[in-house]
Amino acid sequence: MVFGSGKKLTFRDYVQGTWGSFTTPAGKVDYIMTKARLGEDSEDPERQLTKSLAPVREVMEVSDMDFNQLLQRDLDDHRVAVKLIPYLLKAQQTGPAFFPPIVAVLLPFRNRRPSSFPKLGEPIVVEDDEARWLQERAGDSFQVQRLLRSDNQLHPASVGKLWWNSTQARLVVLDGQHRAMALIAIERTMTNGWQSSSGARFRSFYEHQVKQVLLEAKQEGIDLNKVEIPVTVCWFPELTGEDAKPHDAARKLFVDVNNEARQPSQSRIILLSDAELSNVLTRRLLNELRGETDGSYIPLYAVEYDNPDANSTRPARWSVMTNIHLLKSAVDTCIFGPRDYLKDVTKKSKGRTKPGDRDRFMREQLNIPDLFPSEFEDGGFTYHPDRIGNTEFPLGKVDRISDRFAETWGRAILTLLSKTAPYAAHSRALRKLNESWHIDDTAMTLAHDALFNGVGVFWTLKDSYDHYEERKSRGHSVTKSDVIRAWEALDRRESEFEAYRAQEYLDNDKSIKQSNSAYSVFNTHACQLGLVMTLGSLWELRKSQLGWVNIYDLPAFAEDMTKGINAYFDQKHGRARDRRLAFIKDVSVITNPLNRIDSMETSQAVHFRYFWMQVLDTPMAWQHVSPWIKNQQDFKLLLSAARENYLKLRENQMIRALKNDPNIPEKELQKEARKKASLLLKRALRDWFYLPEEYYDEWFRSIGTSQNALDASPSTSNAP
């Protein structure tokens, strides 16, 4: 049974097929099962559906996109071009090719920004295409028709039509975006439609490859009119009206439909999932960076949040300073704790923590009881502030929690990562690179997008270049396309950026080796999380000293802590050593380094917390922090415990190194390792932190007397 389009001036786009509903206690999803196809251009809905499908990056300006609006994984254009398109259009020796259904959802947009649909009206019976239909309409945005029998009951054939107005609604691919992009790329190449589409900038990834595959398909006699792909078009009938949030529902649906499929990257889960409050708060940090306009925070493009690696926990791009996983770790540590991880500066691992303990700590850190009444309703559920936690929180009122976080801990965390000297220098260098970039051809535009604008573009360029190099190594004839030139341009710009960064951090664009060595440490999770943990630990110390704290003081505290650290890095204090190099571990660059950690995995953050605390204990730094810490001796207790913990690490590393020395009896290993580790630490503290050797010796003799031995040395503010 096929029906025509009728005369619909308001709605020019439509699909028809088998309709149905998927209803659960969580809500209702209506859908139409249909298909999209290739072939000769025509007005039939199946052909037009191919033109209507769109990935998020073409519906919305990525640079304007709120992280709460992200619906998809990043597109792997290289994979689509070299694998999926040939799979779809080439004859397969092993049998027919098949794509599972693409899932697209109808969502409201105005001027490429998320909006809301008008309220869906009451159903009425209408005559259309010589048949009777049950029709529902949401203003001028969309309408639905379901076929009726002669007695006005729904027809058992379940035939339905969905109409929409493309100026107010778009079909966004929710699942199967790579399959959809294969179809879209073929269609645009066939019809010369790239330049008139919102995806014109991705043309270079596809056009040459698609033309080659189309030529081969024509030679093999493949009829493109028979290339059809199933599509399920969804909408949310209960989420219309001004206060509805269909985009939030789409994001949840994305996570649901991908839960049993190939696992999205951890970056994408954080960006999409509302299942955990920690994800919501992490996204808020990114949104704060996106909304920042005065240059006080690191630019968003200094943060890597689009890495497709499912297990990525370290920044991979040379241009970025940190990544989304570090931000999530900062939220987890400072907001969810547990408290012992911040109070006990020797605790290396969080271990197995009860969710209830983490939730209680979060409620304290954000003062949740102050935000809500003792009992309230949200989304049909009753909530109590003293039960709100990471997985049980009012989604409809989560902005209150998110705002509280952003104004307190969020601002404090971003202050540390933005204003601490090495990170501020990295940001300035990156901004300088952006400003000096001359976009004069397609390759340079792609390269610029890879670093500063386009989500996922960097990884597509990388995969394409790797594929190009592989084919070249096998003796294949290869063409150096704009995509390859773009990657080569990125390679050239890396050294330019390193010179900018050396100038910004060390005041010398020739000191690139020293600068790179410093940033090989500064840009690790261990170093950055250690910095954030220092804030958390000192805040806990302030709590214990005062008995209470005002969490709105946190940003000012972070500002002063940053001033203290920067005072240490400032060379105006007249010491011979360049303290900006104090965290370097490479002995070919500096002598007597403090940092001798073998492996720099995230778990070593506990030792970097000690490094940052040692920085704050210097006279030029402590003056900025001292107004916040009532009793410096309490701080020194923490510092002593952290230093002893680091010394133990160095002893264990030294034991492993000395085991290969046949001249040292095994029973003497521990004693010799302790002696050597202590000597190296003493020299590092003398050279980089002005701790006289006799004070270190006194401390070393004291550490075995009790578990929480007081640092016996006089205040370093009195040291020469």
User: Hey, where are the domains in the chain?
Assistant: 14-256, 277-413, 423-513, 527-718
**Pairing mode, strands 13-24 and 376-378:** unpaired
Looking at residue 63, its pLDDT comes to: 59
Residue 719 has pLDDT above 50, yes or no: no
CA distance 580 to 518: 8
Residue 155, helix vs strand vs coil: coil
Share of the chain above pLDDT 70, in %: 89
pLDDT digits (tens, 9 = 90+) for 2-55: 455 544 557 888 899 999 998 876 679 999 999 998 888 888 888 888 888 888
Other C-beta atoms lying within 10 Å of the C-beta of residue 449 = 20
pLDDT digits (tens, 9 = 90+) for 81-109: 888 888 888 776 555 677 788 899 999 98
CA distance 528 to 418: 11
Residue 34 · residue 158 · CB < 8 Å:
no
pLDDT digits (tens, 9 = 90+) for 685-715: 999 998 999 999 999 998 854 334 333 333 3
Looking at residue 401, its pLDDT comes to: 97
Looking at residue 135, its pLDDT comes to: 94
Residue 576 has pLDDT above 80, yes or no: no
CA distance 472 to 464: 12
Across the range 516-531, mean pLDDT stands at: 95
The residue to which tokens 């390679």 are assigned:
491
Looking at residue 66, its pLDDT comes to: 63
Q: What is the dihedral of CA 305, 310, 312, 313, to 10 degrees?
A: 90
- Split at pLDDT 50, 70, 90, the class of 720 is very low
Q: What is the model's pTM?
A: 0.75
- Split at pLDDT 50, 70, 90, the class of 193 is confident
pLDDT digits (tens, 9 = 90+) for 307-341: 766 445 567 889 999 999 999 999 999 999 889 99
Looking at residue 502, its pLDDT comes to: 97
Burial of 386-407, coded b for 16+ CB within 10 Å and e otherwise, reads: eebbbeebbbbbbeebbebbbe
Phi (first) and psi of residue 15, to 5 degrees:
-130, 155
Torsional sign, CA 674, 676, 682, 685: negative
**Position 236: which residue type?**
F
Residue 266 · residue 311 · CB < 8 Å:
yes
- Split at pLDDT 50, 70, 90, the class of 643 is very high
Q: What is the dihedral of CA 276, 278, 279, 281, to 10 degrees?
A: 130
**Average pLDDT value for the chain:** 87
pLDDT digits (tens, 9 = 90+) for 42-59: 888 888 888 888 887 777
Across the range 626-647, mean pLDDT stands at: 95
Residue 236 has pLDDT above 90, yes or no: yes
Output the six-digit token pair for 592: 């007597």
- Split at pLDDT 50, 70, 90, the class of 62 is low
Of residues 699 and 716, more confidence is placed in: 699
Q: Which of 181, 198, 210, 159 is nearest to 102 (CA)?
A: 181
CA distance 619 to 519: 25
Torsional sign, CA 69, 71, 72, 73: positive
Output the six-digit token pair for 298: 């690191």
Looking at residue 707, its pLDDT comes to: 38
The residue to which tokens 């191919």 are assigned:
50
List the single range of 67-76, 125-134, 249-258, 561-570 with lowest mean pLDDT. 67-76
Q: Which of 595, 316, 496 is nearest to 504 (CA)?
A: 496
Max mean pLDDT among 65-69, 223-227, 297-301 falls in 297-301
Burial class for 190, CB neighbours closer than 10 Å (0-12, 13-18, 19+): middle
pLDDT digits (tens, 9 = 90+) for 422-455: 999 999 999 999 999 988 788 898 899 889 986 6
